[in-house]
Chains A and B, each alone.
Chain A
């Protein structure tokens, strides 16, 4: 069974959580992306659901990227780390709430989530996809507001932005490939039960 894990902030807690359940994994060396035994693959956080959808048996990714990617994967468990939220933020001096953002240009790494959120409240906005440092878009005036991940709010504050609405809570998720669930039925069920044991405080 192979695991695809996200490089970045979720990697360490993922390894620790799996370790608590008795799943010991050797990480790739240095800048390598695949471990020596081939069991661990490291991918960009945004790409983890895609790898799982297309054949890697198990993965861990944030619920933000799973929703944004719309990947067809099983999600048997929500994990107790990677907690944050996706929010709408605007410059502090031009504070507006989402209901008043008709015609706004919204910069985001999450165009699908942003589009779906504004559609759900019936506000017509232009969504502009960016790949990172989304705060820069409002500071330079190319966007009116952003939809982005907020953990502590410090990045927003340092860039003169204020959070005006929460779009969704985010948490790390365990992902399982749909076919692997069938082909490795017992193995995957055993893994899920072990992880649930940790969640329930049984390990």
Chain B
């Protein structure tokens, strides 16, 4: 989408508010160069050649972190434009928590997500939590048909599953999962996440799918009834052999819901020398000012 200058100002405002929330949760910002050497492990980005070498512009941040992360644990966030083969891309704000205990890490990242949206004044959202492993388990014994089951989920076309040469009982079980949406599923790990979060906007929904290939189990999608597109989503993945979980928000989607909140400012007027001296004192104390010379 082509943005106006005003849109870019508002995108920056949204980014700053999210930055504030991520910092409050003890996440550190990571910045990447716009251009990176091409690698098969890096997703998205717009490819180009220069001096007989291949490069990508603005690829997906999570895959860059996975590729270069060495060791240890980390709480990271980024705010950047991500291209996908085109010259215009999507502005994303994302969080990655690498290492930690279950289920705490899921609860933490979803808490960051909830407070990030609330910091923008967006309260009418839902988070649907799904699971890759639940479907792996449900398709155990019919592995050759996993791709068809995945395609059925991606398109939400149960007819694909019905046409498979599998038992009626198995189809009924898959149908139940296909339509499961609630607070308790009987899957201990997932039920614990919902219970510990204790937020009425969080549901388990096994019809939730995420297109990215690197998710290993828990996935989630966040959306608002006011917008026909997801606000973002995320999931669990591996960095080396370490568990990680992250999400990315689509700032363009948030822009459509964001009303803007003007911070109260201390207005200063008068003789410039005195006014700016006073303004410097207030800014040092973290008080927003507006100088009207």
Contacts and interface: CB of A to CB of B under 8 A. Distances in A.
Interface of A: 53-57, 74-78, 176-183, 185, 189, 196
Contacts of A57: 228
29 contacts: A53-B228, A55-B227, A55-B228, A55-B229, A57-B228, A74-B155, A74-B156, A75-B156, A76-B156, A76-B157, A76-B158, A76-B159, A77-B157, A77-B159, A78-B159, A176-B156, A179-B225, A179-B228, A179-B229, A179-B230, A180-B228, A181-B156, A182-B126, A182-B128, A182-B181, A182-B223, A183-B225, A189-B179, A196-B159
Interface in B155-174: 155-159
A56 B228 contact: yes
B96 interface: no
A185 B181 contact: yes
A79 B156 CA distance: 15
Given A56-B228, A177-B228, A182-B223, 17 more contacts: A54-B228, A75-B156, A76-B156, A76-B159, A78-B159, A176-B156, A178-B223, A178-B229, A179-B225, A179-B227, A179-B228, A179-B229, A181-B156, A181-B207, A182-B205, A183-B223, A183-B225
Contact of A53 (B126, B157, B179, B229): B229
A178 to B, nearest CB: 7
Per CB-CB distance, the 10 closest pairs between chain A and chain B, nearest first, are A55-B228, A74-B156, A75-B155, A183-B225, A179-B223, A177-B228, A76-B156, A76-B157, A179-B228, A54-B228
A185 B128 CA distance: 13
Interface size grouping (class) on chain B: 10 to 19
A1 B41 CA distance: 42
Query: What is the interface of chain B mostly: helix, strand, loop, or mixed?
Result: loop
Which interface residue of B128, B156, B158, B230 has the most chain A CB atoms within 10 A?
B156
A76 B172 CA distance: 17
Interface string B217-245: 00000011101111000000000000000
Contacts of B223: 178-179, 182-183
A182 B204 CA distance: 12
B62 to A, nearest CB: 19
B210 to A, nearest CB: 12
Contacts of A176: 156
A196 B156 CA distance: 13
Which interface residue of B155, B207, B225, B230 has the most chain A CB atoms within 10 A?
B155
